[in-house]
Structure 1
């Protein structure tokens, strides 16, 4: 009797949409990206007013400031479970719906802990969308994933800056901080619209006549998964610490509050072109290690400058830090580049971001504790330099050209694409390219 041969499963053709569909998908992605930080920076801009209006204690205010990173870690981890059960369009409709409802409810809440709960609802929507966007870019724009990652990263920064700059004037115009927070629920509601049509369709997407069955991918069991998580976490730690403390560093260096705020805004403004360029450049390079080293070196140089000459070289340190923080869009691009399958991208995105944001939550806290203990900024900046060194080593490991499914044992090293599950062994069957 001849042995059973596992059937080959034809790999799905990348979902390259028709021109009109591509435009709608791109608009949908960009609208979601606009919302990914607005709920956070609008609250940061109005935190004093919210604290006074709701009579927040120091403990509750501390919980609110660390809530985004913790929520991203907790809720982002559930996204692969959702992705196995629902289409990306339905997930995004739900995520933006949570964001809109959460922002609206917190704007009308009357108690501190109701405010925290409704903020968590809004952040859950952001966490899910955070994980899903790299997957959508890889699925719908497989040949332009670097460019599209850069575009949505730049849009994310635009939304971050806009919410930070506009929330206070809106609150003053309406005479209430609640308006400055609640208005962003409208932006989240608008982001639902492009995804309603795809979410309501019941017909499954064509996969070339076959339905591939992919094995479960577990990044936590791979070196690549941990390298990506630590790289994402270390660069996010720097970003959160910068948002929380850089203006204070400049104020302590004899800048006026206005100038210190402008210098902080300069990090975001200078970073916009880098956010667009970095993923595009990453998509064209075979070896990403030079980029990883350049950005880590820029961050280290910026922190050294802030420690030694914070006033004299302020513009140079801002520019270097802006370049260094382009590690964020690079990390997003690498997530899509380090997995072969849609499920692999979802799993790697969820693990890297959920674990990474948990690491990042420590940044502002430890910088604040070290500053309080020493009364200066040398030790906190030394901590950030150490984090940048860890980022460099993790980034070098993540930048090696390999794939998550290969390390997970789902495909042979010489076979480039996971296409299904071997019915005899439960391992992934594969075909050559």
Structure 2
């Protein structure tokens, strides 16, 4: 892994030179360098800048889910501490995708005005503030408001991570998206696994157990501070051939692209499956007679599967002209997992958890396709915002509908049938989204 990253750092430095970043001068980055300083100094400066961006991407990704999964681990204690009703607690579980949809739309406009790095930095600040404040605001309304602040920071960072990757690493979209997705999966599973024992170790207060995650978010602010003043346009980092091919007409009308719509629906359906899995899979196993502790471990295994596969799948996707075969393979794993949950939920529990963990890796694949289906940084920003915002809106009803079906049918047959049924259109639109074309070309036509 280290040798791979070292090689990629060298390639990234070369790419930075190709994409039009002028070597730092005394006025724009090589402060204190004497006139005629060796080019190696400028190259070293760019290399360290690239490493700092890699660190920033990893730390940002680690912070994009703990605000959600740490709350899920302590939801019962939070309900008791704040006197929440069951309906309000249910609303709380639906807030993340709603915030991702609403606030994610703002990200491209903010990035054009302030620069994507500066907006991600502000997003990390918002996450830090929201996580630090929400346990101590003293009421349900304040708790929801502080959660929304953290989720706003997550939403804009969600949208802009593919833009950052495309801007800094245009020739390694797959590997860098894989690294980012792997860190995101690690942060998700880490918060779910250690929040409760860490809370116990810190004295047993749920307020401390939630607030401690603000420290990780604060660490993520630091590497992005160097990007706050960088407001160069995306074209400053695009390869020359991309700049030559970039449309010069009106702004991209993303809704004219069939690929953009296919990717948005694919993103929404995979998010639906992921939220249903996180919210209900442990209960399915428990109702089948699996002990509560084992059911929680099975859910953790499902989420941990995303750590290694999130690095492998994007790299594989970028080597294929069409990503449809990967979409179909992941969908087949999902269908097999749902069939197992229906036929023998307890008998093959570990196998079904592994299969559904593989199926949930449609998320890093979707992020990779966002970077591949647009040629320019501006196009990636618009496609990312459209696909994620529309997709998260699509995902909101899924977990709620599963709960309604479970309550009215008295079993898991209908909910599992719904999950399997949604996998079919997910595979279909994923194949369409994986075709080798760009949204700029489709929108122009």
Question: Same fold per TM (> 0.5)?
Answer: yes
Shift, 1:135, TM fit:
0.8
Which residue does 1:314 correspond to in 2?
Answer: 349
Q: Choose from 194, 210, 231 the match for 1:181.
A: 210
Which residue does 1:343 correspond to in 2?
Answer: 378
Which residue does 2:411 correspond to in 1?
Answer: 376
Deviation string 1:413-433 (CA, Å, 9 cap, x unpaired) is xxxxxxxxxxxxxxxxxxxxx
Please give the alpha-carbon distance, in whole angstroms, between the structure 2 residues aligned to 1:170 and 1:142: 39
Shift, 1:143, TM fit:
1.4
Partner of 2:225: helix, strand, or coil? Answer: helix
Q: Choose from 232, 249, 260 the match for 2:295.
A: 260
Which residue does 1:162 correspond to in 2?
Answer: 190
Aligned-residue CA RMSD (Å): 2.0
Q: Flag the 1:204–1:218 CA change in 2: closer, same or farther, 3 A.
A: closer
Which residue does 2:33 correspond to in 1?
Answer: none
Indicate if the aligned counterparts of 2:341 and 2:349 stay in contact, CA closer than 8 A. yes
Which residue does 1:139 correspond to in 2?
Answer: 167
Which residue does 2:153 correspond to in 1?
Answer: 125
Establish whether residue 358 from structure 1 lines up as the match of residue 393 from structure 2.
Answer: yes
Structure 1 residues not aligned, in runs of 5+: 1-11, 411-433
Indicate if the aligned counterparts of 1:29 and 1:152 stay in contact, CA closer than 8 A. yes
Which residue does 1:14 correspond to in 2?
Answer: 19
Please give the alpha-carbon distance, in whole angstroms, between the structure 1 residues aligned to 2:373 and 2:233: 26
Deviation string 1:61-98 (CA, Å, 9 cap, x unpaired) is 11111000110011001111112211112101111111
Indicate if the aligned counterparts of 1:287 and 1:400 stay in contact, CA closer than 8 A. yes
Indicate if the aligned counterparts of 1:221 and 1:408 stay in contact, CA closer than 8 A. yes
Which residue does 1:248 correspond to in 2?
Answer: 283
Shift, 1:386, TM fit:
1.2
Shift, 1:37, TM fit:
0.1
Taking structure 2 as the reference length, what is the TM-score of the superposition? 0.86
Please give the alpha-carbon distance, in whole angstroms, between the structure 2 residues aligned to 1:143 and 1:41: 33
Q: Flag the 1:406–1:170 CA change in 2: closer, same or farther, 3 A.
A: same
Indicate if the aligned counterparts of 1:214 and 1:343 stay in contact, CA closer than 8 A. no
Please give the alpha-carbon distance, in whole angstroms, between the structure 1 residues aligned to 2:73 and 2:20: 40
Partner of 2:114: helix, strand, or coil? Answer: coil
Deviation string 1:1-55 (CA, Å, 9 cap, x unpaired) is xxxxxxxxxxx95378932111100000100000000100010001011000000
Partner of 2:228: helix, strand, or coil? Answer: helix
Please give the alpha-carbon distance, in whole angstroms, between the structure 2 residues aligned to 1:278 and 1:31: 21
Shift, 1:245, TM fit:
0.3
**Higher helix share goes to which structure?**
2
Q: Choose from 68, 75, 88 the match for 2:96.
A: 68
Indicate if the aligned counterparts of 1:76 and 1:128 stay in contact, CA closer than 8 A. yes
Which residue does 1:193 correspond to in 2?
Answer: 222
Shift, 1:404, TM fit:
0.4
Establish whether residue 35 from structure 1 lines up as the match of residue 35 from structure 2.
Answer: no
Please give the alpha-carbon distance, in whole angstroms, between the structure 2 residues aligned to 1:361 and 1:202: 34
Q: Choose from 62, 73, 80 the match for 1:52.
A: 80
Indicate if the aligned counterparts of 1:134 and 1:149 stay in contact, CA closer than 8 A. yes
Shift, 1:321, TM fit:
0.9
Indicate if the aligned counterparts of 1:15 and 1:140 stay in contact, CA closer than 8 A. no
Please give the alpha-carbon distance, in whole angstroms, between the structure 2 residues aligned to 1:218 and 1:370: 39
Structure 2 residues not aligned, in runs of 5+: 1-16, 22-42
Q: Flag the 1:67–1:204 CA change in 2: closer, same or farther, 3 A.
A: closer
Shift, 1:220, TM fit:
2.2
Please give the alpha-carbon distance, in whole angstroms, between the structure 2 residues aligned to 1:113 and 1:59: 14
* Number of residue-to-residue matches in the alignment: 399
Please give the alpha-carbon distance, in whole angstroms, between the structure 1 residues aligned to 2:379 and 2:298: 39
Shift, 1:226, TM fit:
0.9
Indicate if the aligned counterparts of 1:89 and 1:199 stay in contact, CA closer than 8 A. yes
Q: Flag the 1:406–1:174 CA change in 2: closer, same or farther, 3 A.
A: same
Q: Whose relative contact order is higher, 1 or 2, with alpha carbons under 8 Å and at least 6 apart?
A: 1
Indicate if the aligned counterparts of 1:14 and 1:140 stay in contact, CA closer than 8 A. no
Which residue does 2:331 correspond to in 1?
Answer: 296
Please give the alpha-carbon distance, in whole angstroms, between the structure 2 residues aligned to 1:73 and 1:201: 27
Q: Choose from 257, 274, 290 the match for 1:239.
A: 274
Please give the alpha-carbon distance, in whole angstroms, between the structure 2 residues aligned to 1:231 and 1:79: 21
Please give the alpha-carbon distance, in whole angstroms, between the structure 2 residues aligned to 1:302 and 1:27: 35
Please give the alpha-carbon distance, in whole angstroms, between the structure 2 residues aligned to 1:216 and 1:38: 36
